[in-house]
Amino acid sequence: MKPTTLEEAVAITKKFTSRPSNEELLKLYALYKQATEGDNETERPGGFDFKAAAKYNAWLNLKGLSKTDAESQYLELVEKLSEKHI
């Protein structure tokens, strides 16, 4: 499935019948946040919340990537993942 908008891509991810890897999920999260909000300007999560820290770091690593480029990468990733998870 080839999504053409962010909304279509998000809808496709909800149809996945198997769970992407943690690495793939983090990439999806980070690209989505970068595409919708831009650079991560939020506060770093507390010490023992490892899931929140991983998400924070994944998004932070995309600093400087334009919203348009992040959206394009997100659409490409969803297309690729849909081939093995739908």
Report all structural domains of the chain as residue ranges with CATH numbers, in order of start.
Answer: 6-85 (1.20.80.10)
pLDDT confidence bin for 46, thresholds 50/70/90: confident
In this predicted structure, the answer to whether residue 70 has a pLDDT above a threshold of 90 is yes
Q: How far apart are CA 23 and CA 50, in angstroms?
A: 14
The pTM score is 0.94
Helix axis angle, 22-37 to 50-60, nearest 10°: 60
Q: Residues 52-75, buried b or exposed e (16+ Cβ, 10 A)?
A: eebbbebbbebeebeeeebbebbb
Specify the DSSP class assigned to residue 35: H
